């Protein structure tokens, strides 16, 4: 699944490339077979499509595995030039010599002349002196003392290059000029920069954006938090709202505003304005954003956007009605009312399900709370009054039920509660009288009578 933090980084790279007249490159780093499946790649492509980075508008996807020959050739060049050496130490060997599992490799094989062979890993010879300065568009020039960087592995005992080297070689091969990624990758950057320099190529310009955290200020984790972009898509978040919100994680447009057109974000985003502090992914705020975006849709677009949940296509769970029970005209009649009441598109189902079911899904807690002493008689009176109506419209229904309540000394809110539960199954939802108008006289009366029988 595509992590929301990765989606933010993708958007930032996408915008920056467009601003600079450059090219956004998508590379699938697939050399770890256990973590690579074709359907997972398709998931990334689909998530990018949804968020607005559509196929055909970028280079790729390229696959790291296709460049394996270049990776091995680079490892060989580093060895032949003396910038790397072979080592057969196990983790246990290093721990035994240093006396600690927390200390890094001690350079034991640096000058022992061990050649290539089974189980011999290739290590980069880190300079003993000086420092590696990383030019970062967000963080300035972080500096790392070389003596604190261990001689790190660049190829495994079976000869396969590790990610650090493969990543550098791929960037070189593809002419990557800028790398925008999360700050968690910053500790690896001096190692990568040393590899660039050892291979005789100028390193790219880096930009490490703040890590995304949850409400406890912990890094968002797929084991603990809802982080998959697809999960938000399938719940009914709009791509525009998600795009807008993700770009606010560590950055803000000019003025006292947050919900802005995408064209404004594309024009105003600047990497050097990104905040260094961790970015809080506030799901409640995202939900509010999404509600604003939903309410801003033209009604026809809102109706179209709701279709997957109404017709049971491409959703997490099918609706409680059968496809043939769905009435598009009935939904269109209440769509504008529903549009103002939901924050995510999946909420459309519990708001309108009563229109498409033979009988409503009763919320038992709502029933218990609402159906008090006197409710049976009130429902009897409501049926009698509704039966006598000449015009079945929202205004007539409201004034009629208002009169029923007045005879009992009840305000409209108390009067309509039992009727709402009898007809819709819930205490909250769309405006009652507009709902009854769409539901129709026969179905409305049938449901009120059924509720009355249950109270016997």
Helices in 58-100 by DSSP H: which ranges? Answer: 68-80, 91-98
DSSP letters for 426-447: SSSSS-HHHHHHHH-HHHHHHH
Edge-to-edge, what's the strand order for the sheet holding 153-155? Answer: 84-87, 121-124, 153-155
Neighbours of 325 (CB within 10 A): 12
What kind and span of H or E run contains 383?
Answer: helix 375-387
Query: What tokens appear for 92 in the block?
Result: 């246990």
- Longest CA–CA span in the chain (Å) reads 102
Asked if residue 1 lies in contact with residue 229, where contact means CB atoms within 8 angstroms, the answer is yes
Given the DSSP bridges, would you call strands 25-28 and 59-63 parallel, antiparallel or unpaired?
parallel
Asked if residue 455 lies in contact with residue 379, where contact means CB atoms within 8 angstroms, the answer is yes
Given the DSSP bridges, would you call strands 178-182 and 205-209 parallel, antiparallel or unpaired?
parallel
d(CA 19, CA 225): 33
Catalytic residue among 37, 222, 226, 372: 222
The C-alpha R_g of the chain, in whole angstroms, comes to 31
Burial of 436 (0-12, 13-18, 19+ CB in 10 A): buried
Please say if 222 is a catalytic residue. yes
159: CB partners within 8 A, 6+ apart: 72, 75, 116
Provide the CA 21 distance to its chain's centre, in angstroms: 27
d(CA 125, CA 355): 71
Query: Any idea which residues carry the catalytic annotation?
Result: 222
């Amino acid at each position: 699944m595509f992590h929301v933090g990765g989606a933010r980084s993708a958007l930032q790279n996408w915008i920056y490339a467009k601003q600079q007249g450059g090219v956004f490159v998508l590379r699938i780093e697939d050399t770890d077979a256990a973590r690579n499946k074709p359907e997972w790649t398709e998931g990334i492509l689909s998530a990018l499509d949804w968020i607005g980075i559509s196929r055909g508008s970028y280079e790729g996807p390229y696959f790291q595995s296709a460049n394996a020959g270049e990776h091995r050739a680079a490892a060989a060049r580093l060895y032949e030039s003396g910038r790397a050496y072979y080592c057969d130490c196990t983790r246990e060997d290093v721990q035994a010599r240093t006396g600690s599992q927390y200390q890094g490799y001690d350079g034991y094989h640096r000058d022992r002349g061990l050649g290539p062979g089974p189980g011999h890993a290739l290590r980069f010879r880190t300079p003993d002196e000086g420092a590696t300065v990383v030019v970062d568009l967000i963080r300035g020039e972080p500096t790392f003392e070389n003596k604190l960087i261990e001689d790190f592995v660049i190829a495994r005992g079976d000869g396969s290059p590790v990610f650090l080297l493969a990543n550098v070689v791929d960037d070189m091969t593809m002419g990557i000029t800028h790398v925008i990624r999360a700050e968690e990758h910053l500790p690896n950057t001096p190692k990568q920069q040393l590899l660039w320099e050892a291979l005789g190529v100028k390193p790219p310009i880096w930009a490490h954006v703040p890590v995304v955290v949850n409400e406890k200020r912990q890094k968002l984790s797929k084991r603990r938090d809802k982080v998959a972009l697809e999960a938000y898509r399938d719940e009914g978040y709009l791509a525009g709202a998600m795009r807008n919100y993700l770009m606010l994680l560590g950055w803000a447009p000019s003025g006292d505003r947050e919900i802005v057109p995408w064209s404004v974000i594309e024009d105003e985003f600047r990497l050097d304005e990104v905040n260094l502090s961790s970015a809080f992914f506030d799901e409640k705020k995202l939900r509010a954003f999404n509600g604003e975006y939903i309410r801003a849709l033209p009604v026809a677009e809102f109706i179209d956007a709701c279709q997957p949940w109404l017709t049971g296509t491409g959703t997490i769970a099918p609706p409680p009605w059968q496809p043939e029970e769905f009435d598009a005209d009935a939904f269109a009649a209440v769509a504008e009312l529903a549009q103002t009441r939901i924050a995510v598109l999946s909420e459309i189902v519990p708001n309108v399900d009563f229109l498409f079911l033979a009988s409503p899904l009763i919320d038992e807690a709502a029933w218990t709370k609402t159906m008090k002493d006197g409710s049976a008689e009130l429902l009897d009176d409501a049926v009698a009054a509704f039966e006598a109506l000449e015009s079945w419209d929202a205004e007539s229904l409201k004034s009629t039920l208002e009169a029923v309540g007045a005879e009992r000394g009840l305000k409209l809110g108390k009067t309509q509660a039992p009727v709402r539960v009898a007809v819709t199954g819930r205490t909250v939802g769309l405006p009652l009288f507009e709902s009854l108008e769409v539901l129709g006289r026969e179905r409305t009366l049938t449901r009120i009578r059924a509720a009355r029988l249950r109270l016997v």
